[in-house]
């Protein structure tokens, strides 16, 4: 109850008591004056009555005081109850107001999370389209590789069939060669045997001739001795006898010689009867030589075909290994992307469930409190909103911190056309510059540029209407570079930060590559950074710069020495074209 209500309750009771006391006092006074004026003779009687009346009045006053005390106690009790009820009411109101504020905060947080989830849904839809396109390209690549594999298998089967035919022909030629070798060896052995026998016969003939000549000389010597002893008459007889003996010896020799010749001819005819004639033998030898030449040629062809077959097998094996590796990489990438996509879908479902829960709670609370959406929302934004970025994006954001230090940088670039990667920021990863050296505009729609530093990679796909002017440069700035968006010369990428790498521990390799819509590499630039053990001291003054003692590199430059334009010449001298 309010204080006004307690005052209203206390007023009538007090007024009644006061009126009663005033009435009693007036009545007593009037009665006293009347009695005193009219009844003076009976005054003693009224004194007693007055004493009783005074006692009665005292009793009534005491009762009045007791009643007033009771009234005050009741009023105090009612006031304490009213104060307690009022405090509880105020605390309940404050709790309800705090609950309304908290629900407003939760509703604002849920609305912000809902907006963020909608943005993430759009981004994930774009990512899904990109991943689907990558998957389609990978599928087409796998189909091409399978077709190449089938073609290579067919070529391998044809080569295997031809090799089997060549092996059969080689086996037949080997059999013919072995038979010819055996026949040649047999003929050679027989010819050698006949030649040995002829030599032995010649030696026997020579020995017999020498023996006959020796006997003839002995007979001649004996005849001469006999002639010297015999007289002239016996000389004719001795000569005649000598001639007879000589003729006899000659006849015997001729007979033996003819017999030996006949025996040798018969033996030779018998031996040669089992062999081919001389013409056929010569023809066989010429054919054997021809077969030998053909065999050597066939062997050389077979070795060459074996070498080609080994090369073909090695090349096919290498292509199959490359295909398996590419398929494995594509499968691994597909599994990783699918896992990330599933994680994002799970996170999205969880966030959607939380949003539905928050929305239900807010609707119930608004229904219970009977408030509108506009009065329950808080104008303050939440201090932190949970986002569900992928682990890869987290690695990119962690790799954007670059280190300052003296390092030596070597660059190598290559390009297959008029476009080339003219420059990229090695140390800070702020920008990448593409140069068109031709006299015509080139469309970059559907092309992709990739910037990799260490194990971290970031890529950007150009919109369909992107073009680079003739004899001009296009600089792609990282989203955290702070540069001004001024297309077509300066383009600030959205939500893309080129990775950097802390290379204090050793070497660093930064690769920027440009791919066309068929994922064919058009241009590439490779910069290798290696920390030097020496320290270069560079001092700067207002408006000028001192000349360093060794090479130093500014952000975005490849080589720069001192000041002026000397760095450009040094850049061309240290860069090589692959």
Residue 126 within a domain: no
- Which residue bears the tokens 């003296």? 406
Find the mean pLDDT for residues 415-421.
Answer: 86
- Residues 63, 190: one domain? no
- Residues 87, 157: one domain? no
- Residues 85, 232: one domain? no
Lowest mean pLDDT among 52-66, 101-115, 243-257: 243-257
Find the mean pLDDT for residues 441-462.
Answer: 87
Mean of the per-residue pLDDT values of the chain? 74
Asked which of 313, 329, 361 is the last residue of a domain, the reply is 313
Residue 20 or residue 575, greater confidence: 20
- Residues 416, 549: one domain? yes
- Residues 555, 433: one domain? yes
Residue 174 within a domain: yes
Asked which of 313, 342, 375 is the last residue of a domain, the reply is 313
pLDDT(383) > 70: no
* pLDDT computed for residue 227 by the predictor: 61
* Residue 239 pLDDT grade (very low, low, confident, very high; cuts 50, 70, 90): low
Domain total in the chain: 3
pLDDT(106) > 70: yes
Mean pLDDT is highest, among 394-408, 451-465, 541-555, for: 451-465
Mean pLDDT is highest, among 34-48, 101-115, 201-215, 521-535, for: 101-115
- Helical pair 43-229 and 232-273, crossing angle rounded to 10 deg: 150
Residue 376 or residue 314, greater confidence: 314
- Residues 79, 175: one domain? no
Number of neighbouring beta carbons within 10 Å of residue 345: 12
* Residue 246 pLDDT grade (very low, low, confident, very high; cuts 50, 70, 90): confident
* pLDDT computed for residue 12 by the predictor: 61
Find the mean pLDDT for residues 296-321.
Answer: 82
- Residues 454, 555: one domain? yes
Burial class (CB in 10 A: 0-12, 13-18, 19+), 483: middle
Asked which of 313, 328, 355 is the last residue of a domain, the reply is 313
Find the mean pLDDT for residues 498-518.
Answer: 76
Lowest mean pLDDT among 161-165, 272-276, 389-393: 389-393
- Residues 565, 435: one domain? yes
- In sequence order, what are the residues at sequence separation of 6 or more whose Cβ sits closer than 8 angstroms to the Cβ of residue 289? none
Residue 234 within a domain: yes
* Residue 475 pLDDT grade (very low, low, confident, very high; cuts 50, 70, 90): very high
Residue whose C-alpha is closest to residue 514's, from 454, 442, 571: 442
CA count, 13 A, side-chain hemisphere, 315: 11
- Residues 68, 160: one domain? no
- Residues 305, 445: one domain? no
Residue 122 within a domain: no
Domain extent, residue 412, equals 402-577
DSSP secondary structure letter of residue 380: S
- Residues 170, 309: one domain? yes
Residue 26 within a domain: yes
Find the mean pLDDT for residues 427-436.
Answer: 87
Residue 75 within a domain: yes
- Residues 305, 450: one domain? no
Q: Across-strand partners of 530?
A: 408
Integer Cα distance of 366 and 104 in angstroms? 10
What pLDDT, in 10s, does the model give residues 180-197? 778 778 777 877 777 777
* pLDDT computed for residue 515 by the predictor: 92
Residue 145 within a domain: no
Integer Cα distance of 176 and 19 in angstroms? 160
* pLDDT computed for residue 513 by the predictor: 92
What pLDDT, in 10s, does the model give residues 248-303? 777 877 787 778 778 777 777 776 666 555 566 677 778 778 878 888 888 888 88
pLDDT(433) > 90: yes
Residue 524 within a domain: yes
What pLDDT, in 10s, does the model give residues 27-38? 666 666 565 555
């Amino acid at each position: 109850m309010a204080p006004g209500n307690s005052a209203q309750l206390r007023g009538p009771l007090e007024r009644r008591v006061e009126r009663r006391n005033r009435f009693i006092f007036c009545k007593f006074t009037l009665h006293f004056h009347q009695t005193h004026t009219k009844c003076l003779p009976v005054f003693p009687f009224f004194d007693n009555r007055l004493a009783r009346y005074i006692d009665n009045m005292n009793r009534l006053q005491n009762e009045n005081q007791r009643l007033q005390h009771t009234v005050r106690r009741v009023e105090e009790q009612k006031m304490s109850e009213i104060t307690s009820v009022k405090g509880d009411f105020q605390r309940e109101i404050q709790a309800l107001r705090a609950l309304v504020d908290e629900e407003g905060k939760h509703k604002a947080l849920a609305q912000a999370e809902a907006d963020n989830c909608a943005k993430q849904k759009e981004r994930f839809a774009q990512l899904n389209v990109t991943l689907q396109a990558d998957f389609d390209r990978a599928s087409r690549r796998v189909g091409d590789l399978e077709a190449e594999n089938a073609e290579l298998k067919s070529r391998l089967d044809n080569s295997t069939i031809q090799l089997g035919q060549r092996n059969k022909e080689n086996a037949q030629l080997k059999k013919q060669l072995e038979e010819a070798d055996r026949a040649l060896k047999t003929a050679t052995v027989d010819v050698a045997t006949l030649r040995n026998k002829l030599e032995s016969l010649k030696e026997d003939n020579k020995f017999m001739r020498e023996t006959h000549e020796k006997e003839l000389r002995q007979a001649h010597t004996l005849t001469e001795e006999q002639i010297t002893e015999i007289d002239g008459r016996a000389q004719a007889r001795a000569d005649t006898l000598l001639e007879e003996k000589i003729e006899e010896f000659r006849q015997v020799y001729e007979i033996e010689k003819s017999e030996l010749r006949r025996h040798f001819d018969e033996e030779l005819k018998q031996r040669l009867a089992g062999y081919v004639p001389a013409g056929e033998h010569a023809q066989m030898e010429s054919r054997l030589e021809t077969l030998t030449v053909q065999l050597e040629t066939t062997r050389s062809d077979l070795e060459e075909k074996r070498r080609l077959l080994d090369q073909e097998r090695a090349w096919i094996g290498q292509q199959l290994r490359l295909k398996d590796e590419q398929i494995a990489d594509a499968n691994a990438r597909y599994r990783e992307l699918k896992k990330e996509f599933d994680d994002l879908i799970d996170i999205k479902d969880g966030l959607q469930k939380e949003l539905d829960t928050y929305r239900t709670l807010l609707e119930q609370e608004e229904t219970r409190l009977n408030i509108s959406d506009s009065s329950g929302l808080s104008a303050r934004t939440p201090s932190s909103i949970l986002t569900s970025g992928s682990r890869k994006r987290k690695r990119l954001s962690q790799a954007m911190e670059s280190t300052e230090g003296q390092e030596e940088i070597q660059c190598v670039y290559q390009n297959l056309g008029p476009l080339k990667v003219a420059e990229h920021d090695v140390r800070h990863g702020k920008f990448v510059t593409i140069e068109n050296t031709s006299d015509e505009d080139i469309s970059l729609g559907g092309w992709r540029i990739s910037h990799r530093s260490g194990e971290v990679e970031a890529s950007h796909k150009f919109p369909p209407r992107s073009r680079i002017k003739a004899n001009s440069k296009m600089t792609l700035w990282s989203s955290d570079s702070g540069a001004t968006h001024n297309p077509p010369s300066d383009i600030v990428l959205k939500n893309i930060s080129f990775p950097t790498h802390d290379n204090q521990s050793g070497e660093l390799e930064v690769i920027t590559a440009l791919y066309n819509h068929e994922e064919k590499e058009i241009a590439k630039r490779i910069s290798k950074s290696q920390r030097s053990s020496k320290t270069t001291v560079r001092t700067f003054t207002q408006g000028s710069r001192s000349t360093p003692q060794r090479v130093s590199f500014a952000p975005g430059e490849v080589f720069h020495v001192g000041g002026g334009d000397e760095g450009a010449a040094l850049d061309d001298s240290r860069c090589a074209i692959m």
